[in-house]
Structure 1
């Protein structure tokens, strides 16, 4: 588990800065996630899914494996209530874990997004993208990416892996925390998430879809996956085990569960921070596994980025004045992540060539291409 702690070092440093903030400081302004850049409105719908075929691996006495899944999708109109970024209970647990007890939970819970709860879906058929957050991160931290993809014509399933994050609230009001943190085996976590993803896809496009309206707008033959941290490792394992998933992205995740020597030919993208995930950096699994990718592939890193740069977390801490100086600004990190993730799925699910994937561009000088 020391590798997980190393991955979260930057967050711990931000937490220390939060604790050090004087009590007399003025309350921060309302927080916001940069607006998505697509032309489509974004709707959301959240589901509580129960996999009766599996006992929860982290808390067996809780019974069947339960997941909270938030869908983001192209909407016809901006109707309904604004999408809540987190519940207050989730935000409080997350901030407490960061050591940021002085930050009001409402400041995070009420972060403004650009999606509308239960908005009517747009007409059409859209690819499905599954997103899996980093270990201990709440699923909310990939909201900015999910909204972007939905605004560009994708249906997105953002999975909350129960007992693997600091703060998951269920419809009955109970909130679970990260039981797996500090005790779980990283390979086991990846295996659990691989099973979670397969179950969610089954519930969305299987014979008894949990969301009939969504089933009608999902192109069941065009499915991709992206994950942050161990969610990225899970993406490669899903690619190996689920033929329905055609293209995948690992965002700054160690390959704890390695890609086998036989590899696979499906397109795969590596997006990493500019320190540990450069060739020959202190995280060696990319050097080992990149040659095993036998299909279309890219290895891209962002200068001055860190582990959180591919999520909303740095976006929020920048607005609170709590980020470390000298790093990649949160809004810029999110913009880069959106650019390359969107381009990858456009090219490999929709068949629309995206030259931004071919090499460095003047518009994105932070992006380094390797091999």
Structure 2
């Protein structure tokens, strides 16, 4: 068995997730037709257009925590993070759009998640985004949202959500957690591979979620401290900070809020709560649980719901699967892999954007959102559980 296959098989066995980029052997039936079928698709592949009124700028930050050795590869030295900063920008000041991910990140992602696929990695790395590096920022101060991706997946897989939130008036810090995903490219061109996909740490995925909480607190320090690492840090209102994550990133939102009171609201997108909600809750802070139908039988979600002590909602999306809250279904389409969800990618993306924005608009901007209080005729796929 190749190393790629061992990595993919181990990650799936541990997480028990069904993602739309399948594992070794799962794509065999479609590989023969994948190259031809993606040629026309990739020529115009792009993320859905952001729905907010603002253009979107993007910067990249390389942050180094000199006080903390890397938790997974101590020999690598200090913990390094890559963060994509998305922000509301002035229209008419932008140039070319930002790359989706590097070609090497795409190659490693395909090697890990779909090793039987033969399409070139440029099909993935070439997805068109809507954000513009160096765009002139909008004046004013905005809430800050931190986004954390799923285990084995790079931060790019939440780009569609990040761009949309920025277009609606948020600064978004989309964090890559190196050695936990297929690959993270540093500014010098080095791409760090996954170090724990085939062998999790001794304490399992709870250790990953809690390590990410430390990562996020460090990012907040560097964005809101006296000498911020980001040139547009003046845009951030440090009194209005939220966090959302997919999969293990959603569990990390719980762990972060339990450890860092600066995060005023959080959301978990279909992530098993490996880091549980504390028995005494989250000090009354609001939390959104947003997932596929099978989460209704997830013991960690039912226990988490019972322990949440502030404003809370549990949204269930009919027809969604684990990847429906991310860009992953689009990437699967590009390499010729059938989608396992009955919910189309564009619809899943639209629902994720609408409900995440509604939650943070209500909790961080004080704008009432009736969408969160019951069924919506416009969104029949979504059921709402109230306290």
TM range (shorter): over 0.9
Mapping of 1:173-192 within 5 angstroms?
A: 173-184=189-200, 185-192=204-211
TM-score relative to the length of structure 1: 0.94
Q: Is structure 2 residue 34 aligned with structure 1 residue 20?
A: no
Cα–Cα, structure 1 residues 252 and 15, in superposed 2: closer, same or farther, change >3 Å?
Answer: farther
Matched residues in 1 for 2:356 and 2:24: separation?
26
Matched residues in 2 for 1:231 and 1:177: separation?
19
Q: Which residue of 2 aligns with 1:105?
A: 121
Matched residues in 2 for 1:356 and 1:88: separation?
39
Whether contact under 8 Å (1:136, 1:178) holds in the other structure is: yes
Cα–Cα, structure 1 residues 19 and 73, in superposed 2: closer, same or farther, change >3 Å?
Answer: farther
Q: Is structure 2 residue 21 aligned with structure 1 residue 11?
A: yes
**Aligned-partner SS, 2:106:** helix
**Aligned-partner SS, 2:41:** coil
Cα–Cα, structure 1 residues 170 and 13, in superposed 2: closer, same or farther, change >3 Å?
Answer: closer
Matched residues in 2 for 1:253 and 1:145: separation?
16
Aligned residues: 366
Q: CA RMSD in A?
A: 1.8
Mapping of 1:140-289 within 5 angstroms?
A: 140-184=156-200, 185-212=204-231, 214-264=232-282, 265-274=284-293, 276-278=294-296, 281=297, 283-289=298-304
Matched residues in 1 for 2:333 and 2:372: separation?
28
Whether contact under 8 Å (2:21, 2:337) holds in the other structure is: no
TM-score relative to the length of structure 2: 0.90
Segments of 5+ residues of structure 1 without an aligned counterpart are none
Match of 1:114 among 130, 139, 150: 130
Whether contact under 8 Å (1:95, 1:103) holds in the other structure is: no
Whether contact under 8 Å (2:19, 2:323) holds in the other structure is: no
Segments of 5+ residues of structure 2 without an aligned counterpart are 1-10
Matched residues in 1 for 2:303 and 2:62: separation?
38
Whether contact under 8 Å (1:126, 1:153) holds in the other structure is: yes
Matched residues in 1 for 2:305 and 2:215: separation?
25
Q: Which residue of 1 aligns with 2:8?
A: none
